[in-house]
C-alpha cells in the first residue's frame, strides 16, 4: 500500500469565526429564495399535471367509446345493407325470419357491449330480433324510429339515455334506416348500447374527492352520464356550459379552468369530442384535490427550513469543536488502514493496486497464490502483459486511457468500472475473473493508483455455457414443435386420401366467399359432382381401385382450377368446387370440361383399366341462393337431377 500524506490542519478552520456566521446567513437567504422558487414551480406543475391527467383520461375514454361506436355503426350499416328489402315487406317475415335472425344473433355474439339487434318495418313493428322469444315491440312512437322516418337525410340516430325499471344499467339506443333504391324508409335496424361498461370506467377513474367525469351530447347539450351522478339532470342540458359553447364554435378538444355549473366547484377541465359522433367526454379535477399535495409540500418546506436553521446551528457548534477532534481522526485513520490491510491479506478475492504511470502492480494480496499460483512477492512489479492475456491486457490498457480522459473532464462516474479479464496462471492456464477497479485520486484530484478486486468466475462461466447449450437445445425442440403444429393445422383441413380440402374447410371458406360476393356485388358459382356407379367400381375392382379413382379425379380437378378456386372432397365420392367471380354460364362450361376430361380418363390399377364418368350440378349466387346453405342445396338438387336424367352430364339448378 502507498504511504499517505501527513495529516494537515484545514486552512478554513484558521479563519475568523465571523466568516462562519456570514456564511450561514448567506446560506439561509439563498435557501429561502430557492424554496420560494421551488414552491412556485411545484404549484404550476400541479396545475399542469391536473390538466394533463384530465386530458389523458378523456383521451382514453374517447378512444374506447369511439372504437365501440365505430364498430357498432359499421355492424348496423352492414345489417341494413345486407338485409333484403323483401324481408320487410308484408308477409315476408316467416320466409326470411330464420336467416335474418341467425345473422342478427351471429352479429350480437361478437359485440358484448350491446343488448342485441332488432329490425322494425316501416310501420314501426318489430320484425326480427337477435334474441328469439322477446315480446312484440311497437317503435312507431319512439324517437329512434320517428327521427329516421321524418328525416330522409339522417343515416344514424342516438336516443336519449334510457334506464329501464328493474335494470339500473343505462343504455343508449343507436339506430340506422333501411331504405330502398328510391330512398323510401323500409325499416329500421337498432341496437341498445349498454353504457354500464362506460359507467364502470367512470366509477374506477381517480379524479380526487371532488372530480367529475361527464358524457354529453354535442348536438343538444344533454347530459348522458356523470360521475358522481346527477339523476335529476339526465337528458337535460347543463346551464351556462362554456364547453358546449366551444364545441358549437367548432372545437373538438381542449381544456379550461372554471367553476362547475352544477355545483360551483372550481376545476381544471379537459374535453374531447368522440370521433364524428354527437358526443363528447369531459373530465374535471378540482383545485382542492390537485393542490392538496402542494399544501402538504409547503408545510414540509416550512418544517425543512426550521430544521435547516437548527442544522446550521449544529454545524457552527461542530466546527468550533473540530480542532479537538482532528488528532483523534488521524488516529482512527491509521487504525482503519491497518484494518484494511488485515482484510486484504485474508480475503478470498485478490486485492491489488496498480501504479497508473508505470502500469505495474504495486501491491497484491496473498490470495493471489490460490488464483494464479504465484506468491505476492513474485507478482508485485509485473506489467499488464505479464499477468493478463494479450487480449485482456490490450483491453485494460485502452480502458485506462479512456477513463483517465473522462476523469480529467470531470466525469465522476468513470472512477469505478467493472469488467471481465483473463489472468495467466503459472502453468499457462487462463483464469476468467471479474474485476472491480477504483481510481484513487491524490490531494490534487489526479488519479495515481488503481485499486482492484479480482474474483475467479470459472464456475459461473461453465454454468453460463451449459445454460446457453440448454437454451439452444430447447429452441431446436420449440422449432420442431412449431413445424408439427403447422403440419397438424394443414391436416385438419385436408382430406387424407385425395389431398383436397375437406368439408370443414369448405364450411369456413364458403361463408366468407358468399359474404364477399354480397359485399362486392360479384358472381359466385358452386359445382357439386359425383362419380357415377362408384359402388360398382368398388364391388368389381375392390376398394383400392376405388381409392385410386378418387385420387385421379382429385388430381384432374386440382390441375384445372384457378388459384382463387377451391376444390373439396364433400363426402364419399362427392366433390364440390367453389368458383369465386365466375358467373353461371362460365361455371357450366368449366363443369362440362371436367366431365369430358374424366370421361376420357383410364385409371390403371394392377394392369386393369378402370373408367368412370361423373355427374355435375351447378348453382350460382345470387340467382339460386343468397346463403351458403341455399347454394349447397341448389347444387345438390341439380346434381340429383343430372343423375336422374341419365348420369354423365352437367345440369344447372332450374328452380
Convert 598-624 into a string of H (helix), E (strand) and C (coil): HHCCCEEECCEEECCCEEEEEEEECCC
Please tell me the distance from the alpha carbon of residue 23 to that of residue 20, in angstroms, as a whole number. Answer: 5
Please tell me the distance from the alpha carbon of residue 496 to that of residue 502, in angstroms, as a whole number. Answer: 9
Residue whose entry in the numeric block shows the C-alpha cell 336519449: 160
Convert 44-85 into a string of H (helix), E (strand) and C (coil): HHHHHHHHHHHHHHHHHHHHHHHHHHHHHHHHHHHHHHHCCH
Nearest Cα neighbor of 185 from 212, 207, 154 is: 154
Residue 156, phi-psi category: left (phi > 0), alpha (psi -120 to 50), beta (remainder): beta
For residue 173 the three cell numbers come to: 339506443
Please tell me the distance from the alpha carbon of residue 344 to that of residue 38, in angstroms, as a whole number. Answer: 47
Which residues, in sequence order, are CB contacts of 541 under 8 Å at separation 6+?
605, 608, 610
DSSP conformational letter for 278 = S
Which residues, in sequence order, are CB contacts of 361 under 8 Å at separation 6+?
352, 353, 354, 355, 379, 380, 381, 382, 387
For residue 556 the three cell numbers come to: 384432374
C-alpha distances out from residue 252 to 48, 62, 331, Å: 20, 11, 74
Which of the residues 141, 335, 573, 599 is marked catalytic? 573
Residue spans of beta strands (DSSP E) within 493-594: 524-531, 566-571, 574-580
Please tell me the distance from the alpha carbon of residue 140 to that of residue 15, in angstroms, as a whole number. Answer: 98
Which residues, in sequence order, are CB contacts of 414 under 8 Å at separation 6+?
403, 406, 407, 439
Please tell me the distance from the alpha carbon of residue 424 to that of residue 371, in angstroms, as a whole number. Answer: 9
342 by Cβ neighbours in 10 Å (0-12 / 13-18 / 19+) ranks as exposed
41 part of the active site: no
Residue whose entry in the numeric block shows the C-alpha cell 420449440: 478
With beta carbons less than 8 A apart as the criterion, state whether 504 and 492 touch: yes
With beta carbons less than 8 A apart as the criterion, state whether 145 and 124 touch: yes
Q: Which helix (H) or strand (E) holds 238?
A: none
* Long-range CB contacts (within 8 A, 24+) of 35-40: 35/301, 35/304, 35/305, 38/301, 39/294, 39/297, 39/298, 39/301
DSSP conformational letter for 388 = B
For residue 483 the three cell numbers come to: 413445424
CA angle centred on 486, ends 485 and 488, rounded to 5°: 65
Question: How many CB atoms lie under 10 A from the CB of residue 347?
Answer: 14
Look at strands 416-424 and 447-456 and give their pairing. Answer: unpaired
How close are the terminal C-alpha atoms of the chain, in Å? 107
Residues belonging to the active site: 573
Amino acid at each position: 500500500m502507498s504511504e499517505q500524506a501527513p495529516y494537515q490542519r484545514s486552512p478554513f478552520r484558521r479563519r475568523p469565526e465571523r466568516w462562519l456566521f456570514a456564511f450561514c446567513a448567506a446560506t439561509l437567504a439563498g435557501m429561502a429564495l430557492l424554496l420560494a422558487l421551488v414552491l412556485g414551480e411545484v404549484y404550476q406543475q400541479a396545475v399542469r399535471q391536473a390538466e394533463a391527467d384530465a386530458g389523458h383520461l378523456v383521451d382514453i375514454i374517447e378512444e374506447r367509446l369511439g372504437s365501440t361506436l365505430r364498430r357498432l355503426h359499421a355492424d348496423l350499416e352492414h345489417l341494413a345493407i345486407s338485409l333484403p328489402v323483401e324481408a320487410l315487406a308484408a308477409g315476408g317475415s316467416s320466409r326470411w325470419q330464420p336467416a335474418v335472425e341467425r345473422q342478427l344473433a351471429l352479429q350480437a355474439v361478437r359485440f358484448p357491449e350491446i343488448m342485441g339487434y332488432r329490425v322494425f318495418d316501416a310501420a314501426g313493428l318489430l320484425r326480427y330480433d337477435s334474441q328469439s322469444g322477446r315480446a312484440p315491440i311497437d317503435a312507431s312512437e319512439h324517437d329512434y324510429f320517428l327521427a329516421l322516418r321524418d328525416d330522409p337525410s339522417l343515416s344514424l340516430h342516438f336516443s336519449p339515455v334510457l334506464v329501464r325499471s328493474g335494470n339500473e344499467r343505462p343504455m343508449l339506443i343507436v339506430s340506422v334506416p333501411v331504405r330502398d333504391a328510391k330512398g323510401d324508409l323500409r325499416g329500421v335496424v337498432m341496437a341498445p348500447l349498454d353504457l354500464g361498461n362506460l359507467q364502470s370506467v367512470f366509477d374506477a377513474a381517480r379524479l380526487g374527492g371532488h372530480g367529475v367525469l361527464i358524457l354529453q351530447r354535442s348536438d343538444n347539450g344533454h347530459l348522458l352520464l356523470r360521475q358522481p351522478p346527477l339523476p335529476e339532470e339526465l337528458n337535460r342540458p347543463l346551464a351556462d356550459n362554456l364547453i358546449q359553447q366551444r364545441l358549437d364554435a367548432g372545437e373538438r378538444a381542449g381544456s379550461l379552468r372554471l367553476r362547475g355549473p352544477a355545483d360551483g366547484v372550481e376545476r381544471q377541465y379537459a374535453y374531447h369530442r368522440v370521433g364524428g359522433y354527437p358526443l363528447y367526454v369531459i373530465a374535471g379535477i378540482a383545485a382542492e384535490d390537485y393542490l392538496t399535495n402542494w399544501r402538504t409540500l409547503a408545510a414540509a418546506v416550512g418544517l425543512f427550513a426550521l430544521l435547516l436553521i437548527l442544522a446550521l446551528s449544529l454545524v457552527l457548534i461542530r466546527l468550533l469543536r473540530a480542532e479537538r477532534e482532528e488528532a483523534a481522526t488521524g488516529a482512527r485513520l491509521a487504525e482503519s488502514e491497518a484494518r484494511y490491510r488485515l482484510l486484504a491479506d485474508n480475503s478470498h478475492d485478490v486485492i491489488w493496486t496498480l501504479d497508473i504511470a508505470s502500469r505495474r502492480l504495486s501491491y497484491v494480496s496473498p490470495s493471489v497464490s490460490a488464483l494464479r499460483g504465484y506468491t505476492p512477492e513474485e507478482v508485485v512489479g509485473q506489467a499488464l502483459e505479464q499477468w493478463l492475456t494479450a487480449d485482456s491486457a490490450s483491453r485494460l490498457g485502452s480502458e485506462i486511457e479512456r477513463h483517465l480522459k473522462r476523469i480529467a473532464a470531470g466525469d465522476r462516474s468513470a472512477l469505478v468500472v467493472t469488467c471481465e479479464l483473463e489472468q495467466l496462471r503459472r502453468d499457462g492456464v487462463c483464469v476468467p475473473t471479474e474485476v472491480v477497479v477504483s481510481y484513487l485520486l491524490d490531494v490534487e484530484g489526479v488519479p495515481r493508483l488503481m485499486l482492484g478486486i479480482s474474483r475467479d468466475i470459472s464456475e459461473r462461466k461453465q454454468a453460463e455455457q451449459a445454460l446457453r447449450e440448454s437454451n439452444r437445445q430447447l429452441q431446436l425442440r420449440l422449432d420442431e414443435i412449431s413445424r408439427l403444429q403447422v403440419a397438424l393445422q394443414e391436416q385438419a383441413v385436408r382430406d387424407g386420401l385425395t389431398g383436397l380440402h375437406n368439408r370443414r374447410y369448405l364450411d369456413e371458406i364458403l361463408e366468407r366467399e358468399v359474404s364477399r360476393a354480397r359485399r362486392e356485388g360479384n358472381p359466385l358459382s358452386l359445382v357439386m359432382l359425383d362419380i357415377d356407379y362408384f359402388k360398382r367400381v368398388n364391388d368389381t375392382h375392390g376398394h383400392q381401385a376405388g381409392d385410386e379413382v378418387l385420387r385421379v379425379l382429385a388430381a384432374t380437378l386440382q390441375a384445372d382450377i384457378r388459384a382463387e378456386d377451391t376444390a373439396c372432397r364433400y363426402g364419399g365420392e362427392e366433390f364440390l368446387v367453389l368458383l369465386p367471380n365466375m358467373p353461371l354460364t362460365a361455371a357450366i362450361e368449366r363443369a362440362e370440361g371436367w366431365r369430358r376430361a374424366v370421361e376420357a380418363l383410364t385409371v390403371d390399377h394392377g394392369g386393369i383399366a378402370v373408367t368412370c364418368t361423373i355427374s355435375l350440378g351447378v348453382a350460382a349466387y345470387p340467382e339460386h341462393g343468397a346463403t351458403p346453405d341455399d347454394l349447397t342445396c341448389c347444387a345438390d338438387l341439380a346434381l340429383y337431377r343430372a343423375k336422374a336424367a341419365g348420369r354423365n352430364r352437367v345440369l344447372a339448378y332450374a328452380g
